Amino acid sequence: MIFNSAFFMFVFLPLCLAGYFLINNKFHNIFLMLVSLFFYSWGEPINIVFLLLSISANYALAKAIGRLNRKFKRIVFLFTILANISLLFAFKYFSFVVSNTPFSIGPKHIILPLGISFYSFKCLSYVIDVYENRIEAEKNILKFGLYVSFFPQLIAGPITRYGDIEPQISDRRVSFEGIYNGAIRFMKGFSKKVLISDQLINIVSIIFDSNGYSAPIAWLGAIAYTIEIYFDFSGYSDMAIGLGMMFGFETKENFNLPYIATSIQDFWRRWHISLSTWFRDYVYYPLGGSYCSKLRTYFNVLVVFGLTGLWHGANWNFVVWGLFYALFLIAERAGLKNILVKLPRLIQHIYALSVIIIGWVFFRANNINAALRYIKNMFSINSRWYADLLSIVDKQLVFCIILGIVFSFGFSVWLEKRLVDNRWICDLMIVMIFLIAIGYMWGGGFSPFLYSQF
C-alpha cells in the first residue's frame, strides 16, 4: 500500500483515523501497531514475517545487552549487529555478490521486502544506542514494535531514533491543530508527488533509455530527473511527517531545500537528513570523523559515502554515485571550499548544482557504462540538437520543470513567511492544488515512490 493510492487516502486513512479517535487512549499504541502491520502486509503478506522477526529479535537482544556484564554484553551486541546486517545482506546484496562472481551458488534474483533498509537502520541505531548507554533497553515490546513498524515511516523513512520517538510513544497529545497541520502537510506532499514528480517520469525514461540525444536533451533529462527525485522523496517525507502529526507524533525534518546548497557539504546537510546523520553518527564518528589526520579523514569520507551509495541499492552505479560525492567532499576539505567561499554566491551555487545533476545521472542510469555514455552526451556537440529539442519538449514539460525549479528553490517557504499573518490563504491554496492533484491521480493512476525500492 502506498500513500498516493486512492485506497489509502479514501479508505484506509479515514478508517484508521476514525478508529484511533473512537477507542480509549490506552489502546492507541496497540491500534496503531495493528494497522501498521496491516498496512505493511497489504499486497505481500510474507514480508510481515521478516518485519516481526526483526522486531522480536532486536527487542530481546537489546534487553540482554542492557542486563549483561561488559564481556558478554559486547558479544551479544556484535551478534545483534551481525544478525541485522545479515538479514539486509541476504535480501538486498546476496544477488549482487553472486552476480559478480563466476560461481552459481544460489538464486540470483531475490524479492526485496519493502522498507527493509529503513527499518533495519532503525533497529541498528536502537541497539547501538542501548549498547552505548544513550538510552535504556525498552521493556515493552509493543512500544518498540510500534517504533519500528509505524506505517507513516515504515516504507521510506524518515529514519527516526528511538530516543527521539519514545517519549511520544509513551505520552502524546492529539489535538485539532495537530490534525489540521498534519492534513495540510500531507496535501502538500501529495501534490509535490503527483503534480511535479509523476509528470516527469515518462520523459526521464525516454531520454535515459536513449543514447542518441544531443547535449541539450541530455541536460534536459538530467535536470528533469533532478526535479523528479526531489519532489518524489520530499513529497513522501512531507506525507509521512503529516501523517505522524495527525496521530500526535512530531518528526524531524528530512529535507531543507537541498538545491539551494552552495557546496557539496552543504547539500548533504540538507538532503535526506535522517540518513546522512545516521551515517555520520554511527559510521563516520566511530571511524574517527575529522578528529584525526587528513588522510584518515579522507578515508573515513570514502567509506561513509561508499556505504551510503551501497545502501541505496545493490548496484555498482550506486557505489560510484556515493564515491563521486566523496571525491568532491574530500576536495572541499582539501582546499576547494576555501576557494569557493571567495567566489560570488551564484558561482558557488552553479558549482554545487552541476555536481548534483551529474551525480544523479549515475544514480538513475542502469549501469556505469550507461551513465558514462549519458554524461558524454551531456558534453557532446551535435548539429541536430534543435530538432531533437522540438521533438521532445512540450508545454507541460516546460511548465513542470519551471514549477519544480521555483519550488525547489524555496518559493513556498518565502510565500509562507510573507503570509504568516494570513496563513489561511496559503492553506486554501494548498487545498485547491491538492484537489487538482486528486484529479490527476484519478486520470492517470499513481506510481510508487522511488525510495520505497531501497
Average pLDDT over residues 34-49: 88
Q: How far apart, in whole angstroms, are the C-alpha atoms of residue 11 and residue 230?
A: 28
The pLDDT of residue 414 is above 80: no
Q: Looking at residue 105, what is its pLDDT? A: 62
> Mean pLDDT for the chain?
89
Three cell numbers at 302?
A: 570514502
Residue 96: its H or E element: helix 94-99
- pLDDT of 388 reads 65
Is a pLDDT exceeding 80 seen at residue 110? no
* Residue 312 annotated as catalytic: yes
Q: What is the mean pLDDT of residues 123-152?
A: 95
54-63, 214-223, 227-236, 238-247: which has the minimum mean pLDDT? 214-223
What percent of the chain stands above pLDDT 70?
93
pLDDT (mean) for 23-48: 90
Model confidence at 66, in pLDDT bands (50, 70, 90)? confident
Amino acid at 108: K
DSSP line for 113-135: PTTHHHHHHHHHHHHHHHHTTSS
Whether the predicted pLDDT of 419 surpasses 70: yes
> Does residue 348 surpass a pLDDT of 90?
yes
Given a cut of 80, is residue 386 above it in pLDDT? Answer: no
Q: Does the pLDDT of residue 454 top 70, yes or no?
A: no
pLDDT of residue 452: 64
Of 154, 157, 136, nearest to 146 by C-alpha is 154
Give the confidence band of 412 by pLDDT, cuts at 50, 70, 90. confident
Q: Which of 28, 109, 272, 312 is the catalytic position? A: 312
Is the pLDDT reported for residue 118 higher than 80? yes
- What are the two backbone dihedrals, phi and then psi, of residue 132, each rounded to the nearest 5 degrees? -85, 5
| Intra-chain end-to-end CA distance of the chain, in Å | 16
Per-residue pLDDT at 25: 87
Name which of 25-39, 96-110, 310-324 the model is least confident about. Answer: 96-110
Max intra-chain CA distance, the chain: 73
Please, are residues 60 and 100 in contact by the beta-carbon 8 Å criterion? Answer: no
Structural domain boundaries in the chain: 6-172, 178-453
What is the rounded average pLDDT of the residues 187-200?
Answer: 93
Runs of H (alpha helix) within 1-93: 6-7, 13-22, 28-41, 47-67, 70-88
What pLDDT score was predicted for residue 155? 86
pLDDT of residue 350: 95
> DSSP assignment, residue 42?
S
In angstroms, what CA-CA distances link 389 with 83, 360, 401, 411? 52, 21, 15, 28
pLDDT tops 80 at residue 9: yes
Whether residue 151 contacts residue 37, with contact meaning beta carbons closer than 8 Å, is answered with no
What is the per-residue pLDDT across 198-236, written as a single tens digit (0 to 9) for each? 999 989 998 998 866 788 889 999 999 999 999 999 999
Q: What digits encode the pLDDT tens for the residues 69-84?
A: 887 899 999 999 999 9
Residue 103 has pLDDT above 70, yes or no: no
- The reported pLDDT for the residue numbered 212 is 65
Residue 195 DSSP class:
I
Per the structure block, which three cell numbers stand in for 4? Answer: 498516493
What's the grid cell of residue 50? 521478516
pLDDT tens digit sequence for 259-313: 999 999 999 999 999 999 999 999 999 999 888 899 999 999 999 999 999 999 8
- Percent of the chain with pLDDT strictly greater than 90: 65
Amino acid found at 448: P
39 or 211, greater pLDDT: 39
- For the segment 367-388, the average pLDDT, to the nearest whole number, is 81
> Looking at per-residue confidence, does 444 or 305 come out higher?
305
Distance CA 338, CA 343 (A): 9
What is the reported pLDDT for 385? 61
Say whether pLDDT at 247 is over 80: yes
